[in-house]
Amino acid sequence: MLRVPVLSKSGKPLMPTKPSRARRWLRDGKAKVVHNNLGCFAIQLTFETGEETQPIAVGIDPGKCYSGIGVQSSLTTLWMSHLVLPFKTVKERMELRRVMRRARRGRRINRKLPYSKRCHRQKRFNNRKQAKLPPSIRANKQLELRVVKELFKLFPISAIHYELVMADVDRTSGRKSARSGVGFSPVMVGQRQMLTWLSELAPVITHQGWQRDGNGTSQLRQWLGLIKDKKNKDQQTPATHAVDGVALAAFEFIQWREWHSDNAKHGGWCGDVQITPAPFAVIRRPPISRRQLHLCVPSKGGKRRKYGGTVTRHGFRKGDKVIAEKAGKTYIGWCSGDTKTQVSVSDVNWKRLGQFTAKKVQLLQRSTGLIVVPSTGLSSLTALSGTA
């Protein structure tokens, strides 16, 4: 059941409403359409009203390459997303930057001189003792945080449910599993910093994906009847990662209760929540190359070609959503580069659709640092609503 985000006259998020009521408000001039960076259809009221809200929770299922986010109220699933994280891209570029720096320093040194007279720059500080996040991990966490902040502008979120990853190494097979507190996983890096950032927005409740007492994300997901695709986790569907985000958000309305008898220990889920079809979006960062003053191979004559950056010669910025025409066909994509007379347009996966004459390219939306591709219609998790 679709729900439209509603903002008050002052811009404060209110409880979402039905599409029919939103259309009626727009028709009567009581509301107007507002833009947001997540591509959600939202309205803002033009008259004063009450600001009472009900509990709404957001669930975050972090990963190394993909993450899932779900927004849930007690009666409706409001929004789902699949985040394509920039982990691999940032890692590869950091390795390339290290190689380029070493090559430049090697070309600068005159090896005909004695070692004591060579141009070796001394270290300015001890860079082996720093408590900072690796760039690839930081990029992942910043993308997740960016999406959550945008959700706070649309929904009156009262709590954040975050899944903690605690890796374990199986001694028999040598494989890692997320069940106990032994071992290591890249997803574990930066969890403390992420929780600090999220705690500035709303109260944060942490959960584990699997727990022996039954109070885990996996157990609640199964109890709710949600289907998860564990084989093809790179598929951009709600069943890969967004399903866990919805299950985590459902913890706000479902709790695990234990009771004991004389001979046994029992437990069960208590509460009421309804999982419904909801809007689904795939979100990623535009993989724009940073400006490189020195390329991998030195150019002849000392003139280096332009590479990287976000500015083009035709008034567009890399990451802008544009519409282009070529040979009678129309293409919608994102600006990814330029030449002297043409503009390169790429699809959501940053694969180039073609190079178009600059005069036949029109701007649709300025770059927001996000590429959001919403699904057509509502996406279902094929869930059975849980009631206890």
Q: How many CB atoms lie within 10 A of CB 140?
A: 29
Q: Kindly report the CA angle at 335 between 329 and 341, in degrees rounded to 5?
A: 75
Which helix (H) or strand (E) element contains residue 139?
helix 135-152
Tokens 């220990």, located at residue: 265
Burial class of residue 2, CB neighbours in 10 A (0-12, 13-18, 19+): middle
Q: For residue 71, give both structure tokens.
A: 């927004």
Residue 58's pLDDT is what? 97
Residue 46's pLDDT is what? 94
Q: Side by side, which strands form the sheet with 4-7?
A: 13-17, 4-7, 42-45, 31-34
Report the candidate in 47, 51, 87, 52 with the shortest Cα–Cα distance to residue 66. 87
Beta bridge partners, 84, equal 66, 284
- Kindly list the structural domains of the chain, giving each domain's residue range(s) and its CATH number in brackets, ordered by start: 54-87+133-285 (3.30.420.10), 308-365 (2.30.30.140)
Residue 383's pLDDT is what? 45
Amino acid sitting at position 246: V
Beta bridge partners, 216, equal none
Report the candidate in 187, 238, 249 with the shortest Cα–Cα distance to residue 55. 249
CA distances from 179 to 105, 188, 212, 250, 301 (A): 46, 13, 9, 21, 59
Q: For residue 305, give both structure tokens.
A: 């070609």
Radius of gyration of the chain (CA): 25
pLDDT tens digits, the chain, 388 residues: what are they?
A: 789 999 999 999 999 999 999 999 999 999 999 999 998 999 999 999 998 999 999 999 999 999 999 999 999 999 999 999 999 999 999 998 888 888 877 778 888 888 888 877 777 777 666 678 899 999 999 999 999 999 999 999 999 999 998 766 454 454 545 444 456 778 888 899 999 999 999 999 999 877 666 678 888 898 898 988 888 888 899 999 999 999 999 999 998 888 766 666 677 888 899 999 999 999 999 998 888 776 777 777 777 777 888 999 999 999 999 999 999 999 999 999 999 999 999 998 899 999 999 999 999 999 999 999 998 888 888 644 444 3
Beta strands (DSSP E) in the chain are: 4-7, 13-17, 31-34, 42-45, 56-61, 66-73, 77-84, 159-164, 168-169, 176-177, 204-208, 254-260, 265-271, 280-284, 321-326, 329-338, 342-346, 352-357, 361-365, 371-374
Cα dihedral sign for 174, 177, 182, 188? positive
